Structure 1
Amino acid sequence: MEEKSYYDRIFEGLDYADTEFCGREFESCTFLDCIFSDSNLSQNTFTDCRFQSCNMSTALFSNTSLRNVDFRACKLTGVDFGNCNAFLFSVTFEQCRLDYSVFFKNALRNSRFADCIIHEAGFIESDLSGAVFHDCDLLNSVFIRSNLRGADFRTANNYSIDPAGNRIENAQFSYPGVLGLLDAYDIVVEY
């Protein structure tokens, strides 16, 4: 890929592992079975794009714009989304692996996380109001000073959220997952 701007293109089977792939614009593009692990994807703009079955583990997204980007069945382990460009940041994740990923000060209002494994991730000072965590495993993930108002955790599991350290008004929980709101208080609850 030598061009700088791409529109309505399909990229399949690309292997850009451990390479620099910066300063490009993609609009309405689809990436299928591509490898971007350990790549530098900084200063790219992705608008209305879809990543399907891609490995993007530990990729760098410094000042990268993700505008209405859909990730499906992707491996995004160790990605720091907090380094992305905040302007029009909008992402959805379905059947993705997001272990050790960081969302620092990201605007994730009404974002959808569906059927994802999100172990030991950090949601720090992020706006997750209205976000949906449908059938997500949030084992050892942390929520610190985040806005979780109206977020839906009813089908999520293994979450631990400190109600005193996050905004949780009108968030939705179900039993037994709701017990994860008590973890910060170091109490024992018997079933």
Structure 2
Amino acid sequence: MDVTELLAEKRNIEGLNLSGMALTDVLAAEPYRFTNCDLTRADLSEADLAGHVFEKCVLDETDFRGSDLEGARFEGGGGAKTRFGRAELTDATFVNADLSGAEFGNALLTDVNFTGCRMIGARLTGARGTSFFLSRSNLTLADLSGCSFRKHELEGIRFDEANLASCDFTGAVFTDCRLIRARVVDTRFTKADLRGADLGEVDDGQLRALTGAIISSSQAAAILAVRGLTVL
């Protein structure tokens, strides 16, 4: 049975090598569950993938651009430079997925949850929608410029060296987070609770961006110490 026949007959696909294949016009209308499949550089652009499940799949350079991924679930697996540009991702879930270098430009990220994900160097700038949620994820070197985290509860997030320019963290609460050397030009932290964040060494530009934020006495002492002041 060839791949096309298999995909026409079954909806639970396990251990299949689909790397480099054009799949948009091959899949049936009903949701599939892909488990341990290799989708490296597979073309799923402009596909109807609402409700599909991708579990422990290899997604290196997989093309989901312009696809309908509403309610889709990605659990484990993943890969480098997966492309989600222009995709519809409302209510999608990413759990313990590797999204390093993933591209989400102009994707609709409404009520999307990223939990336990490796998102080093991911690009979410330009994404549409204002309600994607992050938990226990590594966004080191990620580009999140212009994204809104207004009143979000951010737990276990690494924003080290991330581009947070023009982000809105108004009223956000940071718990067990890191913001070391993050770019915070025109970033809003009004009433943001940063007491649970490792700020690293705060330079003058970062300090200006923190205007209106809530910090601890130990954080304030560390900021003043590098400027030659001692808090008693």
Q: What range is the shorter-chain TM-score in?
A: 0.7 to 0.9
CA distance change for structure 1 residues 65 and 180 in 2, over 3 Å: closer, same or farther?
farther
Letter in 2 for 1:172: I
Aligned residues: 186
Structure with max Cα Rg: 2
Is the 8 Å Cα contact of residues 90 and 111 (structure 1) preserved in structure 2?
no
Q: Which runs of 5+ in 1 are unaligned?
A: none
1:151 paired residue number: 192
1:60 paired residue number: 103
1:113 paired residue number: 154
Alpha-carbon distance in 2 for matches of 1:47, 1:41:
12
1:187 paired residue number: 227
- The reply to whether residue 21 of structure 1 matches residue 64 of structure 2 is yes
- The reply to whether residue 83 of structure 1 matches residue 123 of structure 2 is no
Question: How do 1:38-77 and structure 2 match up within 5 A?
Answer: 38-77=81-120
Provide the identity percentage. 21
Give how far 1:23 is off: 1.2
Give how far 1:129 is off: 0.7
Alpha-carbon distance in 1 for matches of 2:121, 2:144:
11
Is the 8 Å Cα contact of residues 184 and 209 (structure 2) preserved in structure 1?
yes
Q: Which runs of 5+ in 2 are unaligned?
A: 1-22, 28-46
Letter in 1 for 2:151: N
1:34 paired residue number: 77
Give how far 1:119 is off: 1.2
Is the 8 Å Cα contact of residues 163 and 181 (structure 1) preserved in structure 2?
no
Give how far 1:164 is off: 6.4
Alpha-carbon distance in 2 for matches of 1:67, 1:182:
40
Letter in 2 for 1:117: R
Alpha-carbon distance in 2 for matches of 1:177, 1:23:
44
Alpha-carbon distance in 2 for matches of 1:40, 1:9:
16
The TM-score normalised by the length of structure 1 is: 0.85
* 2:174 paired residue among 133, 136, 151: 133
- The reply to whether residue 174 of structure 1 matches residue 203 of structure 2 is no
- Further displaced range: 105-114 or 70-79: 105-114
- Further displaced range: 105-114 or 69-78: 105-114
| Secondary structure, aligned partner of 2:191 | coil
Give how far 1:92 is off: 1.7
The TM-score normalised by the length of structure 2 is: 0.71
Alpha-carbon distance in 2 for matches of 1:19, 1:11:
12
Is the 8 Å Cα contact of residues 56 and 76 (structure 1) preserved in structure 2?
yes
Alpha-carbon distance in 2 for matches of 1:52, 1:135:
19
CA distance change for structure 1 residues 138 and 166 in 2, over 3 Å: closer, same or farther?
closer
| Secondary structure, aligned partner of 2:114 | strand
Letter in 1 for 2:94: F
Is the 8 Å Cα contact of residues 123 and 146 (structure 1) preserved in structure 2?
yes
Structure 1 stretches of at least 4 aligned residues deviating more than 6 Å after TM superposition: none
